[in-house]
Amino acid sequence: MHDFEPKIVAFVCTWCTYAGADLAGTSRMQYPPNVRVLKFPCTGRIDPVFILRAFQKGADGVLVSGCHPGDCHYMAGNFHARRRFAAFRALLDFIGVDLNRLQFSWVSAAEGGKWVEVVTDLTERVRTMGPMPEFKELEHEELWSTFAEATAGKSTGLNITGDRSQVLNTPELKEAYDSIS
């Protein structure tokens, strides 16, 4: 066991990478259990918003993976994905996200070994980087505004002024959030 177990989310296409991960399984290869796989028909379906949301919801690293260029089951979906993510990476870089947390790789249905390699590398890399707090705070922000809206004009009996993060860490307040969210 390590001190920090990063949460890795993999967005994969069903035809190549998902099958490649299946192959890693049938070949009984071993890799860190930190990854959660979300299956898509094609990398072309993957909206960059999903990646942002994943970071916000606790992911410390994200992997996007599909068929090699030219091998797309849907002819050209992975080309659109590649172009989209090239732009998206630049944007993430601009807003200050460490790009080491985000990996794009092509893994074919025959590359069980490559899947293991990619997942292991990303997990270990993110492990050394530590948790990713930035986007999670955004979620607090979101909760905060919902809470403020819900409690507007009402007396909660709680002091919600002052340092937000402190308030958010108060168990009573957290409970109050949970009831409205």
Partner 1 sequence: MSRIGVFVCHCGENISRTVDVEQVAKAAGEIPGVAYSCDYKYMCSDPGQTLLKKAVAEHKLDGVLVAACSPRMHEKTFRKAAESAGLNPYLCEMANIREHCSWVHEDREMATEKATGIVKLMVERVRKGKSLAPITVPVTKRALVIGGGIAGIQAALDIADAGHRVVLVERDPSIGGHMAQLSETFPTLDCSQCIMTPKMVDVANHPNITLYTYAEIEKVDGYIGNFQVTVKHKARSVDESKCTGCGVCMTKCPKKKIPNEFDQGHGMRPAIYVPFPQAVPNTPVIDRENCTMFQSGKCGVCAKVCGPGAVDYEQTDSFTVEDVGAIVVATGFKLYTIDRKPEDSPIQGYGEFGYGTIPDVIDGMTFERLASASGPTGGKILRPSDGKEPKQVVFIQCVGSRAREKGISYCSKVCCMYTAKHTMLYHHKVHDGQAYVFFMDARTPGKGYDEFWRRAVEEEEAVYIRGMVSRMYQKGDKIVVMGSDIQVGVQVEIEADLVVLATAVQAQDGADLLAQKLGISYDKYNFYSEAHAKLKPVECATAGIYLAGACQGPKDIPDTVSQASAAAAKVMTLFAKDQLERDPVVAKVNEKYCVGCFACKKVCAYGAIEEKEIRDRQGNLVKKVAYVNPGVCGGCGTCQATCPSKSIELDGYTDEQIMAMIEAL
Q: Which residues bind partner 1 (CB under 8 A)?
A: 7, 9, 14, 18-19, 21-22, 24-26, 28-31, 33, 36-42, 44-47, 50, 53-54, 57-59, 72-77, 80-81, 84, 116
Q: Which is nearer to partner 1, 81 or 92 (CB)?
A: 81
d(CA 118, CA 171): 39
Smaller CB separation from partner 1, 31 or 144:
31
Residues near 152 by beta carbon (within 8 Å), at least 6 away in sequence: none
Burial bucket for residue 171 (CB in 10 Å: 0-12, 13-18, 19+)? exposed
Cβ at position 84, least distance to partner 1 in Å: 7
Q: Considering beta carbons, is residue 45 or 160 the nearer one to partner 1?
A: 45
Q: Residue 179: name the closest of 155, 154, 146 by CA.
A: 146
3-state DSSP call for residue 112? Answer: helix
Between 35 and 176, CB nearer to partner 1:
35
Least distance (Å) between residue 73 CB and partner 1: 8
